């Protein structure tokens, strides 16, 4: 497994910019809230430019890991600061850098201080600083090739997320202020505890891996495993795999470890909800591809039937619960659980179509969920309620808002012509090639997605205009700047996904080689 080194530390600089921006934003004086917002936006745009350089510098047909960096860190334990990206990491770094400016713009007023708050506390500065810090950690997570470094980042990002959920919750709460604060606190603590437990189990597996391999380098361990110079006992490999996979399944989130997500997304602001499901949760599914399959290929194949079954439950269960939701944000949360089931199923289908589709699904789900959730956030801010029953006839008073909401919803149900369709189709084709029964069952998720999406639109946007929404304004300029590019991306990638597939496919071929799998031959040979 060859690597391509670089002199200029582009990956470090790409992550360091939002980290430095977070510190500077937090240090802005309390009276300069607007300056803090603009600083955060400019930093996020600068990070997007650097991420674009990462994409341009990456050669899909070149070495597996490129733009590599390696420096001694904790030498006594063999821990190094090692970075490198393959096509999957590049795609997800680009997604992260793309979404953060829209998250910042969408949350422009979400953390403005309330009159009841002390002037000594600077919620606006803290809100945007925490978002930038999460961005820095996520970018490094997608680039880390030292297992211990990845673990540190995997856990550290929980801290700013905890404060974003618990300290900057959704103001459109149906109960009293005390009840809203209690609900936010509960959601934040649940998020933290679930992920900490997963992280602690992963830590035990990381230590076990070091005992067996003698170092933490992903590339060195994978090369040793591939060459046969490092052998693991079957039981040892399976235990280590389970330790890693459990943590990633919590983050993903995969049934039955998913219950923290609806609470977290429901109580967070809409931009933070997007940060959770479109950015942070992708670290879990990405790590399944990078670490589980590469470090523990035999254990990955051993666990595949159970994981496919769990993914199917996630697909159907998440979609069924989305159908019955009364809260708009919780509906999107359960829909995301269903979509993550598709991603996990595609990864462990062990076919090139499935894994390519799963990677594309991570990117496309991030864009489509961002579009739907951010428009839903604009809607909720206007009405002051998350309940579906409190809306009706919105398309007659705010047609642009309703139209963008519809496109986001149609992308969620994977309508042909929109980006998620390509990824979902590839996942189903790749799954059906090896597990036809699982592929058939998974298609029920498509039917249920159409049901919950169209029912949501019908109940909120059509019908008689309710008195409470009669004076609802349409999308403003700032909101259109947020939504329009996301809608455009859904359309472009829906009809022309080639730029993504060209980056992702070579990395998928390497992953298939790691687990020594080849695509099943078709039962009917093509005509010559």
Question: Residue 185 has what pLDDT?
Answer: 83
Q: How confident is the model at residue 4 (pLDDT cuts 50, 70, 90)?
A: very low
**Does residue 388 carry a pLDDT above 50?**
yes
Number of domains forming the structure of the chain: 1
Least confident window among 86-90, 167-171, 237-241, 390-394: 167-171
pLDDT digits (tens, 9 = 90+) for 446-482: 999 999 999 999 999 888 888 888 888 888 999 999 9
What are the structure tokens assigned to 477, written together?
A: 């300029």
| 490 is a domain residue | yes
Tell me which residue has tokens 């950015």: 279
**Does residue 416 carry a pLDDT above 60?**
yes
Contact 90, 502 (CB under 8 A): no
Q: How confident is the model at residue 61 (pLDDT cuts 50, 70, 90)?
A: confident
**Does residue 337 carry a pLDDT above 60?**
yes
| 34 is a domain residue | yes
What are the φ and ψ backbone dihedral angles of 496, each rounded to 5 degrees?
-145, 75
**Does residue 193 carry a pLDDT above 60?**
yes
| 219 is a domain residue | yes
**Does residue 173 carry a pLDDT above 80?**
no
pLDDT digits (tens, 9 = 90+) for 287-310: 999 999 988 989 999 999 999 999
| 64 is a domain residue | yes
| 526 is a domain residue | no
For 346, the domain range is 3-514
What are the φ and ψ backbone dihedral angles of 84, each rounded to 5 degrees?
180, 150
Question: Residue 42 has what pLDDT?
Answer: 96
| 276 is a domain residue | yes
Question: Residue 245 has what pLDDT?
Answer: 94
Question: Residue 204 has what pLDDT?
Answer: 93
| 461 is a domain residue | yes
Chain centroid to Cα 459, Å, comes to 28
Entry pTM: 0.90
Question: Residue 113 has what pLDDT?
Answer: 66
What is the three-state SS of 17-75? HHHHHHHHHHHCCCCCHHHHHHHHHHHHHHHHHHHHHHHHHCCCCCCCEEEEEEEEEEH
C-alpha distances out from residue 465 to 297, 395, 456, Å: 57, 9, 15
Q: Could you tell me what percent of the chain has a pLDDT over 90?
A: 55
| 494 is a domain residue | yes
Question: Residue 470 has what pLDDT?
Answer: 85
């Amino acid at each position: 497994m060859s690597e391509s080194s670089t002199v200029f530390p582009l990956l470090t600089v790409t992550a360091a910019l939002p980290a430095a921006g977070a510190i500077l934003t937090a240090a802005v004086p309390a009276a300069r809230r607007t300056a803090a917002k603009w600083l955060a936006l400019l930093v996020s745009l600068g990070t997007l430019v650097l991420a674009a350089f990462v994409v341009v510098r990456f050669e899909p047909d070149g070495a597996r890991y490129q733009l590599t960096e390696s420096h001694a860190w904790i030498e006594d334990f063999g821990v190094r600061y090692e970075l490198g990206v393959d096509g999957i990491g590049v795609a997800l770094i680009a997604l992260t850098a793309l979404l953060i400016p829209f998250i910042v713009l969408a949350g422009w007023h979400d953390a403005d201080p309330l009159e009841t708050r002390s002037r000594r506390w600077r919620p606006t500065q803290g809100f945007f600083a925490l978002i930038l810090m999460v961005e820095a950690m996520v970018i490094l997570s997608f680039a880390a090739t030292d297992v211990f470094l990845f673990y540190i980042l995997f856990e550290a990002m929980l801290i700013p997320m905890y404060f974003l959920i618990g300290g900057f919750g959704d103001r459109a709460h149906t109960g009293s202020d005390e009840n809203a604060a209690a609900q936010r606190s509960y959601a934040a603590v649940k998020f933290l505890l679930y992920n900490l437990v997963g992280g602690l189990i992963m830590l035990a597996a990381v230590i076990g891996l070091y005992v067996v391999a003698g170092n933490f380098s992903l590339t060195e361990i994978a090369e040793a495993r591939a060459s046969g110079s490092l052998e693991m006992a079957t039981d040892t490999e399976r235990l280590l795999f389970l330790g890693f996979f459990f943590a990633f399944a919590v983050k993903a989130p995969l049934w039955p470890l998913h219950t923290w997500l609806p609470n977290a997304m429901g109580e967070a602001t809409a931009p933070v909800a997007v940060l959770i499901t479109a950015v942070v949760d992708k670290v879990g599914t990405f790590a399944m591809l990078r670490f589980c399959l590469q470090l523990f290929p035999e254990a990955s194949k051993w666990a595949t039937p159970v994981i496919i079954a769990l993914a199917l439950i996630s697909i159907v269960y998440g979609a069924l619960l989305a159908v019955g939701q009364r809260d708009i944000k919780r509906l999107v949360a359960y829909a995301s659980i269903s979509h993550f089931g598709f991603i996990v199923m595609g990864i462990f289908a062990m076919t090139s179509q499935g894994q390519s589709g799963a990677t594309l699904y991570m990117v496309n789900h991030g864009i489509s969920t961002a579009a739907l959730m951010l428009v839903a956030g604009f809607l909720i801010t206007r009405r002051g309620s998350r309940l579906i029953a409190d809306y009706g006839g919105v398309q007659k008073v705010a047609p642009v808002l309703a139209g963008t909401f519809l496109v986001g919803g149609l992308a969620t149900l994977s309508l042909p012509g929109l980006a998620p369709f390509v990824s979902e189709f590839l996942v189903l084709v790749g799954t059906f090639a090896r597990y036809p029964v699982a592929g058939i069952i998974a298609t029920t998720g498509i039917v249920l997605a159409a049901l919950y999406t169209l029912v949501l639109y019908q109940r909120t946007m059509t019908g008689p205009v309710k008195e409470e929404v009669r004076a609802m304004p349409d999308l403003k300029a700032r909101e259109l700047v947020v939504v329009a590019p996301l809608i455009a991306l859904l359309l472009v990638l829906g009809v022309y996904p080639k730029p993504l597939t060209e980056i992702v496919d070579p990395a998928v071929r390497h992953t298939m080689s790691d687990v020594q799998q080849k695509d099943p031959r078709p039962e009917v040979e093509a005509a010559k």
